[in-house]
Structure 1
């Protein structure tokens, strides 16, 4: 059974799944010190409206990949989940492009204060026991690497994610940058740890039209996160559609998932900018725009079902201990 914000669900009941989304992307220190920037009641109501809209398009499950470093707030998310007919899964991990949090730099094996890795312990507890006293267990693990590449801090988090995966079997989702090959580097590291790459989703590789790169990642077993539809600043929508069409024609539907990496509210992207410049960067657009456009280009209903349902069920259920 797979944990959600409101209980557990069998893999066969996940249905059509968005595998890389966010309800909120926040800065925890801003929320703590300037609460007026995140009016909770207003934001809960806003999220309920948007997620009801996501459900109305035909989506059944929503994987929220906000972790520590992006303001994960499980009590607020739980309030929202209790008001929508949508299975919402949460993640554990730490989001950083450069440095690990200071406490993780100082504490752990071979560090200033030698001992167990606090990140690994935290991630395992989130998965096995629950996140603090919320009763909510994390369903997946998340780590990131971006424009700075595989820094020491990024590797510190990846080590903890790998350790937690090996202990719990929870699948790994990544944030990567196709501009500097971090997706391949993430695969290299996880493979060096003896991790089966079929349980790893390499995120944001839909930002490229480089078919050779996508095939290199997929041929090693990982699933391709074609997960930023509507984020025009990284790659135009039409090119994202074309890339998925080409990959389906090459037989890779069983190694792709579709999503938007958008959020109901983000402290990083002003609402007005999103409304005017990124109108399709919205989780509701997958079923209303992306899927119809793929079908119109010759992608089959069976391939859509594989990318939206079958792959999610396989990835989210496999290997759990």
Structure 2
């Protein structure tokens, strides 16, 4: 069974899945020192309203990829999940573009204080036993690499994620930057560890419309996260739709998943900016807008079901424990 915030579900109960989303993107230190920046009760009400609308559009499951480094807060998320008709899955991992947390730089194999990797131990515990004292188990693993490339800190996290995957079988989701070719570099490392790439979702592949680049990753067995619909600053919406259409025509529907990578609230993106400049960057737009436009461009229902139901069920089956 696949763990969610409110229990467990079987793969065939997932329905339509958004595979790379966030309820909140936060900064833990800001929340501790400036709690007025995150009025919890107000934000819970806001999230319940938004996610309720997501569910009404026909989405059944929402994979929240906020991890440590982006303010994951399981007790708050569970309050929300208990009030919406939506399966919400949570992740474990650490989000960084450059440095690993200092304690992880100092502790672990071959480091100043030699011994077991504390991050890998945390990730395994989150998956097997639950996060903190919540009893909520993480369903997936998350790592990231962006404009600085595969730094020592990024590799520190990736090593721990790979170790945890090899011990638990949990699927791996990444944040990548097509402009810096970090997706292929992530696959190179994971493949070098003997990891089956069919259980790896390379995030933000939809930020490029270079079909050959996408095909090279898909041909290695990896799944492409076409997961930033509406983030116009990275690639226009129309180009994102056209790329998915072209990839489906080439037979790659079984190697893509759909999402927006948006959030109900983010400390990184002011609400006013999102409303003015990114109106389509919203999980509520996937079914009525994205799926409608894909269909109008020739993508059949079978391919849509493949990307939104069968691929997620196959990938998340690795979460069954």
Aligned to 2:65: 65
The secondary structure found in structure 1 opposite 2:97 is coil
Instruction: Give the distance between the partners of 1:45 and 1:190, measured in 2 at CA.
Output: 39
**Cα deviation code 1:158-213 (max 9, x no counterpart):** 00000000000000000000001000000000000000000000000100010000
Aligned to 2:196: 196
Aligned to 1:186: 186
Structure 1 position 318, deviation (Å): 3.2
The secondary structure found in structure 2 opposite 1:212 is helix
Structure 1 position 136, deviation (Å): 0.1
In the alignment, structure 1 residue 45 sits paired with structure 2 residue 45: yes
The secondary structure found in structure 1 opposite 2:90 is strand
Aligned to 2:164: 164
Instruction: Give the distance between the partners of 1:58 and 1:48, measured in 2 at CA.
Output: 16
Structure 1 position 295, deviation (Å): 0.1
Aligned to 1:56: 56
- Superposed, which structure 2 residues align to 1:46-195 within 5 Å? 46-195=46-195
Instruction: Give the distance between the partners of 2:179 and 2:157, measured in 1 at CA.
Output: 21
Q: TM-score, normalised by structure 1?
A: 0.99
Aligned to 1:239: 239
Instruction: Give the distance between the partners of 2:108 and 2:268, measured in 1 at CA.
Output: 31
Q: TM-score, normalised by structure 2?
A: 0.99
Instruction: Give the distance between the partners of 1:111 and 1:271, measured in 2 at CA.
Output: 42
In the alignment, structure 1 residue 206 sits paired with structure 2 residue 206: yes
Structure 1 position 319, deviation (Å): 7.2
**Cα deviation code 1:193-236 (max 9, x no counterpart):** 00000000000010001000000000000100000000000000
Q: Tell whether the 8 Å contact from 1:60 to 1:86 is kept in structure 2 after alignment.
A: yes
Q: Tell whether the 8 Å contact from 2:139 to 2:319 is kept in structure 1 after alignment.
A: no
Runs of 4+ in 1 over 4 A off after TM superposition: none
Structure 1 position 118, deviation (Å): 0.2
Instruction: Check 1:319–1:131 CA distance in 2 against 1; reply closer, same or farther (3 A cut).
Output: closer
Aligned to 1:24: 24
Q: Tell whether the 8 Å contact from 1:172 to 1:200 is kept in structure 2 after alignment.
A: yes
Instruction: Give the distance between the partners of 2:33 and 2:319, measured in 1 at CA.
Output: 40
Instruction: Give the distance between the partners of 2:119 and 2:133, measured in 1 at CA.
Output: 18
Q: Tell whether the 8 Å contact from 1:81 to 1:87 is kept in structure 2 after alignment.
A: yes
Instruction: Check 1:117–1:89 CA distance in 2 against 1; reply closer, same or farther (3 A cut).
Output: same
Aligned to 1:276: 276
Instruction: Give the distance between the partners of 1:201 and 1:243, measured in 2 at CA.
Output: 17
**Cα deviation code 1:4-60 (max 9, x no counterpart):** 000000000000000000000000000010000000000000000000000000000
**Cα deviation code 1:242-285 (max 9, x no counterpart):** 00000000000010001000000000000000001000000011
Instruction: Give the distance between the partners of 2:288 and 2:266, measured in 1 at CA.
Output: 22
Instruction: Give the distance between the partners of 1:77 and 1:129, measured in 2 at CA.
Output: 18
* Runs of 5+ unmatched residues, structure 2: none
Aligned to 1:230: 230
Q: Tell whether the 8 Å contact from 2:2 to 2:319 is kept in structure 1 after alignment.
A: no
Q: Tell whether the 8 Å contact from 2:20 to 2:261 is kept in structure 1 after alignment.
A: yes
Q: Tell whether the 8 Å contact from 1:254 to 1:311 is kept in structure 2 after alignment.
A: yes
Q: Tell whether the 8 Å contact from 2:198 to 2:223 is kept in structure 1 after alignment.
A: yes
Instruction: Give the distance between the partners of 1:319 and 1:231, measured in 2 at CA.
Output: 29
Aligned length: 321
Aligned to 2:10: 10
